[in-house]
């Protein structure tokens, strides 16, 4: 774009162009990080794949580490927006099952990228620290929604904490096994087992709570 064109460009057009450029950089970087790893991915390679200058990558994101953090954040944002949208107007039991479904669908749709993230977290202390904030924030938001739904059913805070911790750990375990032992049949078994346990532990606890309230 020429200087003359830039000077006549509207603020909304500049913002849209900036957003589009950043999206291209982020998309290119995630593809390269996933296939080459963090250390094996250079700013020059990202710039070439995004079809922009190397300096533009630094101008938008400051450093490779800053780009990596932003790319991971943007990777998770659509998932969390879908969670918030899907949970509206649902009862507690439906929210729990919806949280399970959304978590599993996100993992299934992004398996290659998640495999790379798990590998980086396990292998690289630097990457573990870079991802720590984003992953813990996402974990906290997911856990809070699950905890609230369970509390509405069970009514007992101590039992709620135990059940929440149990099912968050089971989901994380299913994610890890989905990476090291992938396959549709294995995924179906793990998903089915999670729901059987929810039926027996959470929903039966809710029934007991209702019985106690009725006898009181």
Q: Are residues 58 and 121 in the same domain?
A: no
Q: Are residues 14 and 102 in the same domain?
A: no
Give the per-residue pLDDT at 87.
Answer: 83
Q: Are residues 131 and 201 in the same domain?
A: yes
Domain boundary among 13, 40, 62: 62
Give the per-residue pLDDT at 175.
Answer: 84
Query: Which residues in the chain show pLDDT less than 70?
Result: 1-9, 124, 209, 213, 216
Q: Are residues 49 and 78 in the same domain?
A: no
Q: Are residues 95 and 153 in the same domain?
A: yes
Task: Please tell me what DSSP assigns to residue 52.
Answer: S
The helix/strand/coil state of 91 is coil
Q: Are residues 98 and 168 in the same domain?
A: yes
Q: Are residues 84 and 121 in the same domain?
A: yes
CATH number, residue 29: 1.10.10.60
Domain boundary among 15, 34, 62: 62
Domain boundary among 44, 62, 80: 62
Give the per-residue pLDDT at 84.
Answer: 81
pTM above 0.75, yes or no: no
Q: Are residues 151 and 187 in the same domain?
A: yes
CA distance 65 to 46: 13
| 206 C-beta neighbours (distance < 10 Å), count | 17
Q: Are residues 55 and 77 in the same domain?
A: no
Give the per-residue pLDDT at 7.
Answer: 53
On whether the CB atoms of residues 199 and 145 are closer than 8 A, the answer is no
Q: Are residues 36 and 78 in the same domain?
A: no
Q: Are residues 106 and 189 in the same domain?
A: yes
On whether the CB atoms of residues 131 and 123 are closer than 8 A, the answer is no
Provide, for the chain, the percentages of residues in helix, strand and coil under a 3-state DSSP scheme, each rounded to the nearest 5.
90, 0, 10
Residue in the block written with tokens 């990457």: 127
Who's near 46: CB < 8 A, 6+ residues apart? 25, 28, 29, 32, 57, 67
Q: Are residues 46 and 120 in the same domain?
A: no
Give the per-residue pLDDT at 122.
Answer: 72
Give the per-residue pLDDT at 216.
Answer: 66
Residue positions counted in the chain? 216
CA angle 116, 120, 103 (to 5 degrees): 55
| 175 C-beta neighbours (distance < 10 Å), count | 18
47: nearest Cα among 60, 56, 38: 56
Give the domain range for residue 187. Answer: 71-215
Number of domains in the chain: 2
């Amino acid at each position: 774009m020429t200087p003359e064109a830039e000077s006549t460009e509207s603020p909304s057009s500049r913002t849209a162009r900036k957003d589009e450029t950043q999206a291209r950089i982020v998309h290119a970087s995630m593809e390269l990080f996933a296939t080459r790893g963090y250390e094996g991915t250079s700013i020059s390679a990202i710039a070439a794949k995004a079809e922009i200058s190397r300096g533009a990558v630094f101008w938008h994101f400051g450093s490779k580490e800053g780009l990596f953090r932003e790319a991971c954040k943007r990777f998770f944002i659509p998932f969390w927006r879908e969670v918030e949208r899907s949970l509206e107007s649902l009862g507690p039991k439906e929210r729990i099952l919806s949280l399970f479904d959304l978590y599993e669908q996100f993992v299934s749709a992004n398996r290659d990228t998640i495999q790379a993230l798990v590998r980086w977290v396990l292998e690289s202390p630097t990457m573990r620290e870079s991802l720590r904030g984003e992953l813990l924030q996402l974990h906290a938001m997911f856990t809070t929604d699950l905890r609230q739904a369970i509390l509405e059913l069970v009514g007992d805070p101590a039992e709620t904490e135990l059940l929440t911790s149990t099912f968050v750990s089971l989901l994380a375990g299913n994610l890890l096994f989905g990476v090291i032992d992938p396959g549709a049949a294995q995924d179906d078994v793990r998903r089915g087992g999670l729901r059987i346990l929810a039926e027996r532990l959470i929903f039966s606890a809710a029934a007991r709570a209702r019985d106690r309230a009725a006898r009181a």
